[in-house]
């Protein structure tokens, strides 16, 4: 293990090496001759390419194949984007090596790639992969896990390490963060009215959803889906004359209400843009008409916090959807020093801003709901938010599956939410519920116009929501097992107290040997699933509406059971 790169005359070394039960930890140090903006440096070593099949990280959304060292798989991470964990996986799905860094705030990267000359995998830990503010010294602990265990168990242990040894204590998770929600983004975009918000909340409650998320559009007349009018966060009274009246009516229905904000954005048409024109991360709005505030100024942080405190207090909101914090980046003149700032480090300033937001809002509402979405979902973000949502993937069941399962691996007890479910009104209910079946191990968010939903779609959605709520303890608190991450997970199952729920996404055989109760959801393109070790047990097959279509007893050790698309079989 060697250190390379870095600033001229910097002293770099590795110490505190500990190795126990297949897990190695050591501390990487860099000490600079003077305070300066660090250049990239890296730690590198090699492992034999033996029983290696694929790679995994929450950053790698597309290619999970092992790449050559001249075009490696790279996991980039910083406070507001992804997290520093990266695995190489064996053919049987077990861990070959899982790599992690304790510092989830500084821009870092973990790389793996095959060296052609000797068939080894070159492992690289990189530090200061983006421009940061000046420092005079730096240290971080790296963790290397080579245990022969399921790869997801190695990842779970990294998450526990971040929580318990690295200081990233997660925010408490209120019960409502774990319940299905209705989002108005895909269904309405910026075309919001008081009537649609209240009616959607009413219909959502009838179907089994407990919160409504009012997204972008409440603050502007402009419906162009841009951010040139962000920054003042004043109610657009032409659309919604009285937000408190809307909130009160939603509360009368027994529904919580969450409001969207873009944390950093300030548009050229806002008063805030001119107020903070010399406290921006970019001197001029880009071609879409907005830029980002610089949280290293106390005035900026106080302004943002006061906006949120005022809205939660005056409008009695139950939560905030805080968006785009990954857009806080040093650019142009913001890299230069300014003695008006009380923070030099952008990461430290973001951390202070988000920590203070959480503290202040919890004073007003101890059970405040705070949502973030991929890619700002790492261990540091869990300190500020209790809902982590999959990144936008409208009507894309495969991406939603992949993203929610990745989030489940890395989010501990924080509530993991799907991207909002949507489908075309002319699609079949079976195909529509395929969207739901693919995110069954996360909290569902739904974003279709409920007031125009066809009867068959409504019936199927109501069944799936009722199934999810009835089985939420298994789905969300059971031990999650994943298969074939290289191909976006061919199957997954959660098990709790000898009860298991198994979702099949392609052809697979389900082993029911160890369970008193087994539910199998058919989200594959086949009209049957194969189960083994369930002989003598009864089985009931239902369609996507929850209607029984067959009942019987499993007679053989290996049995093929006919199940329609998005249907289920209950075996016990």
Tokens found for residue 523: 């989200």
pLDDT in tens, 519-558: 999 999 899 999 999 999 999 999 999 999 999 999 999 9
Question: How crowded is residue 497: how many other Cβ atoms within 10 Å of its Cβ?
Answer: 11
Question: How crowded is residue 65: how many other Cβ atoms within 10 Å of its Cβ?
Answer: 11
Domain ranges of the chain: 2-165, 175-262+301-325+347-471, 479-571
pLDDT in tens, 419-475: 999 999 999 999 999 999 999 999 999 999 999 999 999 999 999 999 999 999 999
Specify the 3-state DSSP secondary structure of 405.
helix
* Calpha distance 177→179 (Å, rounded): 6
Which H or E element spans position 141?
A: strand 135-145
Overall pTM > 0.75:
yes
The burial class, CB within 10 Å (0-12 / 13-18 / 19+), for 91 is exposed
Q: How much is the pLDDT for 508?
A: 84
Assess contact for 143 and 95: CB atoms under 8 A: no
Q: How much is the pLDDT for 286?
A: 67
Residue 16: how many CA atoms within 13 Å on its side-chain side? 10
Can you tell me which residue has the tokens 């975009």? 189
Specify the 3-state DSSP secondary structure of 476.
helix
Q: How much is the pLDDT for 336?
A: 87
pLDDT in tens, 475-522: 999 999 999 999 999 999 999 999 999 999 998 899 999 999 999 999
pLDDT 10s digit of each residue in the chain, 572 long? 888 887 778 899 999 999 999 999 999 999 998 888 899 999 999 999 999 999 999 999 878 999 999 999 999 999 999 999 999 999 999 999 999 999 999 999 999 999 999 999 999 999 999 988 888 999 999 999 999 999 999 999 999 999 999 999 999 999 999 999 999 999 999 999 999 999 999 999 999 999 999 999 999 998 888 899 999 999 999 999 999 999 999 999 999 999 999 999 999 999 999 999 999 998 777 667 899 999 999 999 999 999 999 999 999 999 999 999 999 988 878 888 899 999 988 999 999 999 999 999 999 999 999 999 999 999 999 999 999 999 999 999 999 999 999 999 999 999 999 999 999 999 999 999 999 999 999 999 999 999 999 999 999 999 999 999 999 999 999 999 999 999 999 999 999 999 999 999 998 899 999 999 999 999 998 999 999 999 999 999 999 999 999 999 999 999 999 999 999 999 99
Q: Give the phi and the psi of residue 569 in degrees, each rounded to 5.
A: -125, 135
Please give the CATH number for the structural domain made up of 175-262+301-325+347-471.
3.20.20.70
Residue 55 to residues 42, 99, 476, 488, 492, Cα–Cα distance (Å): 20, 11, 25, 12, 18
Query: How is 20-71 classified by DSSP, letter by letter?
Result: ETTEEEEEEEEEEEEEEPPPPEEEEEEEE--S--EEE-TT-SS--B--BTTS
DSSP class of residue 349 equals H
The burial class, CB within 10 Å (0-12 / 13-18 / 19+), for 192 is buried
């Amino acid at each position: 293990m060697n250190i390379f790169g870095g600033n001229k005359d910097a002293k770099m070394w590795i110490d505190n090496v500990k190795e126990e039960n297949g897990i190695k930890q050591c501390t990487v140090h860099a000490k600079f001759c003077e305070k300066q903006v660090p250049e990239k440096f890296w730690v590198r070593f090699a492992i034999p390419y033996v029983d290696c099949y694929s790679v995994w990280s929450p950053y790698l959304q597309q290619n999970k194949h092992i790449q050559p060292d001249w075009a490696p798989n790279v996991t980039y991470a910083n406070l507001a984007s992804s997290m520093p964990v990266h695995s190489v996986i064996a053919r049987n799905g077990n861990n070959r090596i899982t790599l992690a860094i304790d510092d989830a705030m500084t821009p870092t990267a973990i790389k793996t790639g095959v060296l052609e000359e000797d068939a080894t995998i070159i492992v690289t830990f990189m530090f200061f992969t983006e421009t940061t503010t000046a420092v005079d010294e730096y240290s971080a602990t790296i963790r290397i896990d080579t245990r022969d265990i399921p790869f997801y168990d190695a990842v779970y242990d990294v998450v526990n390490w971040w929580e318990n040894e690295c200081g990233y204590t997660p925010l408490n998770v209120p019960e409502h963060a774990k319940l299905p929600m209705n989002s108005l983004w895909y269904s309405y975009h910026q075309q919001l009215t008081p009537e649609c918000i209240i009616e959607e909340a009413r219909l959502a409650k009838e179907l089994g959803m407990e919160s409504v998320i009012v997204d972008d559009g409440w603050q502007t007349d402009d419906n162009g889906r841009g951010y040139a009018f962000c920054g003042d966060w004043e109610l657009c009274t032409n659309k919604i004359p009285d937000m408190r009246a809307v909130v009160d009516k939603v509360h009368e229905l027994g529904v919580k209400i969450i409001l969207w904000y873009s944390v950093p954005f300030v548009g050229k048409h806002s008063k805030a843009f001119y107020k903070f024109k010399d406290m921006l991360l970019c001197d001029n709005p880009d071609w879409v008409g907005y830029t980002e505030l610089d949280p290293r100024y106390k005035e900026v942080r106080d302004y943002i916090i006061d906006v949120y405190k005022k809205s939660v207090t005056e409008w009695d909101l139950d939560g905030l959807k805080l968006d785009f914090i990954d857009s806080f980046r040093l650019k142009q003149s913001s890299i230069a020093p300014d003695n008006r700032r009380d923070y030099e480090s952008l990461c430290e300033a973001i951390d202070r801003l988000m920590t203070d937001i959480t503290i202040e809002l919890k004073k007003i509402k101890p059970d405040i709901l705070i949502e973030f979405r991929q890619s700002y979902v790492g261990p540091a973000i869990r300190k500020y938010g209790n809902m982590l949502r999959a990144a936008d993937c409208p009507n894309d069941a495969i991406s939603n599956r992949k993203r929610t399962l990745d989030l489940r691996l890395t989010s501990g007890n924080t509530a993991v939410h799907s991207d909002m479910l949507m489908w075309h009104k002319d699609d079949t209910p079976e195909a529509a519920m395929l969207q739901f079946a693919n995110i069954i191990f996360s909290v569902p968010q739904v974003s279709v116009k409920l007031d125009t939903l066809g009867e068959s779609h409504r019936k199927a959605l109501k069944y799936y929501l009722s199934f999810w709520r009835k089985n939420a303890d298994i789905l969300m608190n059971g031990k999650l097992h994943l298969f074939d991450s290289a191909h976006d997970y061919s199957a997954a199952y959660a098990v709790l107290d000898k009860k298991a729920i198994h979702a099949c996404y392609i052809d697979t055989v389900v082993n029911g040997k160890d369970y008193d109760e087994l539910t199998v959801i058919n989200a594959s393109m086949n009209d049957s699933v194969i189960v083994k070790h369930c002989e003598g047990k009864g089985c009931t097959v239902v369609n996507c509406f929850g209607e029984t279509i067959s009942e019987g007893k499993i007679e053989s050790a290996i049995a093929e059971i006919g199940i329609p698309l998005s249907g289920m079989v209950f075996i016990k």
